Amino acid sequence: MALVSAARVEEVTVKSLVTGGVRSGKSFHAESLVVAEPHVTYIAPGREADPAADPSHAARVVEHQARRPSSWVTVESHGLADAVCAAEGAVIVDCVGDWVQWLIGELDGWDATREEWEPRFMQQVETVAEAVAARRDTVVLVTQEVGMGAVTDDWRARLFRDLLGFANQRLAMECDEVLLVVAGRVLRL
């Protein structure tokens, strides 16, 4: 009779950055990466949905909420690093781009010179990257890929694109995989 030893199987945790264009299917794919996890914290760090001011955005928020399992804990917080650190179980952040847009506004980036606030922006991104690196559970970050089109004449759009590009690169450094979603198809980068 052969002896079979029970080898300890360690859980594999993966940190993923899921990027893509608007309506590419990136959020749906990101959610599929954690749907089997026993505990999931869904962090929504963007602006609040205001149906009167922006009915389209409010409708998207409702669509995302309806798709999530009721067992998932939702945390709406602009304090992204703290929310990632405090989360229980697997973490999904949807969406880094929304957080970047909020953070630029919070730091008065739409009105002040970049020299006045950009170092604080970079430090916030670094703090989030450190929080992601410290997690021992699965982390899925959803973000937008905005740098593949024409260079716009709108300075605000360029500022957002540049800073989101920086944030995406920094967060990708802490991830095991980066996934690009195009037309619902996933490409592993």
* Cβ pair 100, 163 in contact under 8 A: yes
185 bridge partner residues: 182
**Half-sphere exposure of residue 166: CA atoms within 13 angstroms, side-chain side:** 16
Residue in this structure with the two tokens 């264009």, named with its chain if needed: 21
Tokens linked to 174: 């802490």
Q: Active site includes 57?
A: no
> Which one-letter DSSP state was computed for residue 12?
P
Catalytic residue among 29, 39, 57, 64: 64
HEC profile for 56-100?
A: HHHHHHHHHHHHCCCCCEEEECCCHHHHHHHCCCEEEEECHHHHH
Active-site amino acid positions? 64
